[in-house]
Chains A and B, each alone.
Chain A
Amino acid sequence: MDADYAEIAIIMGIVGAMLSMLGMGLLIAYYGSSKTRNVGFVFLVFGLILAYYLSTTGDSVELHNSLLAFIGGMLGGILGIIAFLVAIIKS
């Protein structure tokens, strides 16, 4: 993996923004009122545009490894918080 850090940062930043847009867009489009629902659909479309952009750019970034790192970090954070909760509840 010989990608520059800057390219990794840009690509993974877009991945993060895409995940936020898709996740929040789904929630707002489903649970939102008549006005916010339209905004939710706009977020969904924006997330899909970001996904399309990701699929057509960043040739040198090995996205699978970057995604592995992101998922691993998130999973580790969740496990750490579970360990904290177990320690507090057991006391």
Chain B
Amino acid sequence: MNLSMNFNDWAFMDFFVSMLIVGIGIALLATGLFTSYFGAGKSQKIGFGLLFSGVAILVIVYALTFDAGLGVTEQFNEKEFKQALASGVAALAGMMVGMFVILFVLMKVDTVDDLEDLDLEDLEDLDLDEELKKLEEELNEGDSDKPADEEEAQEEKE
């Protein structure tokens, strides 16, 4: 592996700038396809705009890289552009493979904690009768807290 720290060796124009523009083009193309298909009304029009922009950007990059017969001066080196494209696609594929491996392992591993790990001492110490009495007392207190007007009205009726 050659990871040179001499920035003169770094081909920013052929690798970084070309792939940056391609990335923008592909993102606009994908979002434009999605929006123009599923969108309606104004959103659909925006989708067509994005789709057109994406296609235009990719065509411009192609014309700037390959001899398209348009009389445009080539800005990107053809061979290095292909290598940059291969690098980007390979790295994305590697990331996808890595994510699949991670998901596969996580699904195979038992991720639910065992019931033995639960602390059941608190439940064992719980006296249900006492808790029931407490609840009844709380309910009775709640009943006796009726508004004074209602109690007076009931007394008058009696």
- Complex CA–CA separation, A16 to B21 (angstroms): 21
| A residues 61-75 in Cβ contact with B at 8 Å | 61-75
CB atoms of B99 and A62 under 8 A apart: no
Q: Once the chains bind, are B93 and A73 in contact (CB under 8 Å)? A: no
Chain A residue contacts of B16, Cβ below 8 A: 68-69, 71-72
What 0/1 pattern do residues 67 to 92 of B give for CB contact below 8 A with A?
A: 00000000000001011111111111
The smallest C-beta distance from B110 to any residue of chain A, in angstroms, reads 7
Determine whether the beta carbon of A33 is less than 8 Å from that of B111: yes
Decide yes or no whether A49 CB sits under 8 A from chain B.
no
Contact present for B87 and A69 (CB under 8 Å): yes
Q: Choose one: B24, B25, B87, B111; the contact of A12 (CB below 8 Å).
A: B87
Q: Given A16-B95, A73-B22, check contact A64 B2 (CB 8 Å).
A: yes
> Which of the four size classes fits the interface of chain B?
35 or more
Residues of chain A within 8 A (CB-CB) of B97 are 13, 16-17, 20
Residues from chain A with Cβ under 8 Å of B4 in the complex:
62, 64
Q: Inter-chain contact count A-B, CB under 8 Å?
A: 205
List of A residues within 8 angstroms of B105 by Cβ: 39, 43
Pick from B9, B22, B24: contact of A62, CB below 8 A: B9
B65 at the interface (CB under 8 A from A): no
B139 interface hit (Cβ, 8 Å):
no
The answer to whether B102 touches A91, judged by C-beta atoms less than 8 angstroms apart, is no
For the complex, what is the distance from the CA of A61 to the CA of B3, rounded to whole Å? 9
Per-residue interface assignment for chain A, residues 42 to 86, with 1 indicating a CB less than 8 Å from any chain B CB and 0 otherwise: 010000000000111111111111111111111111111101100
Q: Which of B103-158 contact A (CB under 8 A)?
A: 105-106, 109-111, 113, 117
Most buried by A among B3, B14, B46, B80: B3
Q: List 11 A-B contacts (CB under 8 A).
A: A5-B82, A8-B83, A12-B94, A13-B97, A16-B90, A18-B94, A36-B111, A63-B1, A64-B2, A69-B19, A73-B23
